[in-house]
Amino acid sequence: MYTRSGDTGSTIAPLVGRVSKSHPCVEAVGALDEAESSLGLAEAVARERGEDRVADMLSWLQELVFRVGFQLWELMKPERHRRRCIGPEVVEKIEKLIDELNVEFRGFTLHGGDVVSASIGLARAAVRRAERRLVACLEEVGVGGEEAKTLLSVLNRMSDLLYALEVSVARERGGLRLVEC
């Protein structure tokens, strides 16, 4: 379980190889790990509360975050050797799920009011941080292109879906808390 190779503050990161643990690409991997873990917690909470439809969606999103991380590592390889497990069709599927939730309102919400919606809100915050960290990583190493854009689009849409899901759950459970300035 231990290699001791990181004892001096370095590790291996996607797109760059061995670097300091403070490198933006290491931060991106860590943020993706937090997002994946947060989604796992939200899924467990929803399942425990009998929200199986919500839990199934969160489980799918958790796996999707893992796939984003996997695809990030694949960007290190020559294009002809890369495995692709995320494409633009995933963004379309997420958008369809958002549309199906049919959540429309204007205003700002506080995250909470119910343990299921609060855990979804926490997962959304982690996904948003992962997106920001991924942007920093890609900017640092100068990687762009359609694959990188797709990864960013997936995380961006995922945070939209999590917000819509949080609002939907909060409404159903009577815990939607709107705030005005």
Q: What is the pLDDT of residues 86-113, one digit of tens each?
A: 999 999 999 999 999 988 766 677 777 7
Coil, strand, or helix at residue 18? strand
Instruction: Give 40's contacts (C-beta < 8 A, 6+ positions apart).
Output: 62
Half-sphere CA count of 158, side-chain side, radius 13 A? 33
* Separation between Cα atoms, residue 149 and residue 68, nearest integer Å: 11
CATH superfamily, domain at 17-179: Cobalamin adenosyltransferase-like (1.20.1200.10)
Tokens, residue 33:
């790990």
For residues 37 and 8, the answer to whether their CB atoms sit within 8 Å is: no
32-85 pLDDT, tens digit per residue, is 999 999 999 999 999 999 999 999 999 999 999 999 999 999 888 888 888 888
Closest to 162 measured CA to CA, from 131, 127, 132: 127
What residue spans of 75-144 are helical by DSSP H? 88-101, 115-141
Is pTM beyond 0.75 here?
yes
72: amino acid identity, one letter: L
Tell me the β-bridge partners of 111: none
d(CA 66, CA 70): 6
